[in-house]
Structure 1
Amino acid sequence: MIGLLTIGQSPRPDIEPGLAAILGAPTVCVGALDGVDVDAVTGESGIETRLADGSTALVRHDALGPLLQDAVDRLPARVRLAAYLCTGSMPAIGRKGLLLLDTGALLRGTVGALADRRRLGVLSLPSDLDTARECWSPYAGEVRCAAADPYGEGPDVRRAGAALAAEGAELLLLDCMGFTAGDRDAAARTGLPVIWPTGVLGHAIAALSATEKTVPVIGEGERV
């Protein structure tokens, strides 16, 4: 069984079906905000995430570490492989015997391998648009950014992708786990290659879970 950690609330119907299509293995999703007073840990700035009712909230950075550690502790004991459902930088947490995948690190490695010396078009959440260029510039030859909202409250993915293509982008990055396979397909209508975080994560998990019985026990707080 594969553990999934969302910084919002579970379930994540926008992410779990895409992963299931790749993995073909059972998953269990735990949310950092499950059973939590959301108003007490959110604010005007932070990491945007989806709640169980489909709305979004900004989780304060200072609250994130303890919330995620509690979520890790609530994963079933038999879960030995888990992953963050977030493309941002996550705190160093974990538990003994759990291999915890940092999706943001996987995505940065993928972008660095594909976008070196190329013009990367980043489709960013509106709440992250101001920092998107700085975040991705170390991994690409040049970065252009446009706002797109997978949660249906802001700019359209297809239009944002078309705008970036018109600016000379050579490939597109969907910079949020909330972007679905449908969003990927909409961005791909530009004719450009699209980096889809759920696809990157799903195939990384599949590669590891093929040898899951041989995953070593690691120390608390260690992750990849």
Structure 2
Amino acid sequence: MITLGILTLGQAPRTDIEPTFRAILGDRIAFRQRGALDGLGAGECARLVPEDGESGIETCLRKQDGVVRGVLVAKRLLLPRLIAAGRKLEAECDALLLLCSGRFPELKRAIPRLIEPITVIRSVVAALAGHGHLCVIGPASDMEAAPAQWRSSAARVSTAAASPYGGREALVRAALRAREAGADYVLLDDMGFTELQRRTVRDTSGLPTLSATSITARILQELV
């Protein structure tokens, strides 16, 4: 059986995301997970928050009852921990996936065989929405940069903020905003979004809805 390593920016295991991968990949692979923030308590994670004007990344911690909650951490403080966790995980698996739709050049240089979903996601989005209007839904901390990041993949890009770790109401509002903006496609641009959330956005907006998570899982199907 092939072992797929899943490297997350927050804390493992990501039991919220595993069902999406399992539904597509089936039982022929085993999952092994590590997170950059594994072993840290809430107080230690609080010391990783971005300073004023500093770039931050939203990821998740796990409560004792297993409920996922979002946390914003500074990228410069997260990166060394992410590289260390990735190197440990690389030795334990056959393929290694970054559970994030962002770019981490330093991480890729440190672990060359790491699979970065963003490359595949951009190609799929460009093939579908290259001449259309794409609405990107993701954490508020990512939305300012989103238009520039996706400009080469769609003729027009708009955004609507909603965290995968927030409530359903925010997701519904974002879906309605996408419809009102006249979007042709919606992209859930965060690997934290689940299949249930994708269906919520699709059903609410009435628009074809792409998910970074499910796109990645379907490509992995060809590799494993």
Q: Do they fold alike, i.e. is TM over 0.5?
A: yes
Secondary structure of the residue aligned to 2:192 is coil
Match of 1:31 in 2: 35
CA 1:94–1:119 in 2, change beyond 3 Å: closer, same or farther?
Answer: closer
Match of 2:60 in 1: 50
* Alpha-carbon contact 1:30-1:71 (below 8 Å) kept: yes
Alignment of 1:84-95 (within 5 A): 84-93=98-107
Match of 2:5 in 1: 3
Match of 2:182 in 1: 168
Match of 2:191, as an amino acid? M
The answer to which structure, 1 or 2, has the higher relative contact order (CA under 8 A, 6+ apart) is: 1
Match of 2:163 in 1: 149
Deviation string 1:85-144 (CA, Å, 9 cap, x unpaired) is 111112343699973110122212221221111000111212222222222122110011
Q: Which runs of 5+ in 2 are unaligned?
A: none
Deviation string 1:60-93 (CA, Å, 9 cap, x unpaired) is 1212332121111221634120111111112343
Q: TM-score, normalised by structure 2?
A: 0.85
CA 1:17–1:102 in 2, change beyond 3 Å: closer, same or farther?
Answer: same
* Alpha-carbon contact 2:98-2:116 (below 8 Å) kept: yes
Q: What's the Cα RMSD here? A: 2.2
CA 1:127–1:88 in 2, change beyond 3 Å: closer, same or farther?
Answer: same
CA distance in 1, matches of 2:33, 2:141: 25
Greater fraction helix = 2
CA distance in 1, matches of 2:176, 2:136: 12
Match of 1:196, as an amino acid? S
Identity %: 37
CA 1:155–1:149 in 2, change beyond 3 Å: closer, same or farther?
Answer: farther
Deviation string 1:42-72 (CA, Å, 9 cap, x unpaired) is 3254110011222222221212332121111
Secondary structure of the residue aligned to 1:99 is coil
Instruction: Give aligned pairs, total.
Output: 209
CA distance in 2, matches of 1:134, 1:95: 24
Stretch of structure 1 that moved more, 35-44 or 198-207: 35-44
CA distance in 1, matches of 2:94, 2:167: 36
* Alpha-carbon contact 2:86-2:111 (below 8 Å) kept: no
Match of 2:48 in 1: 41
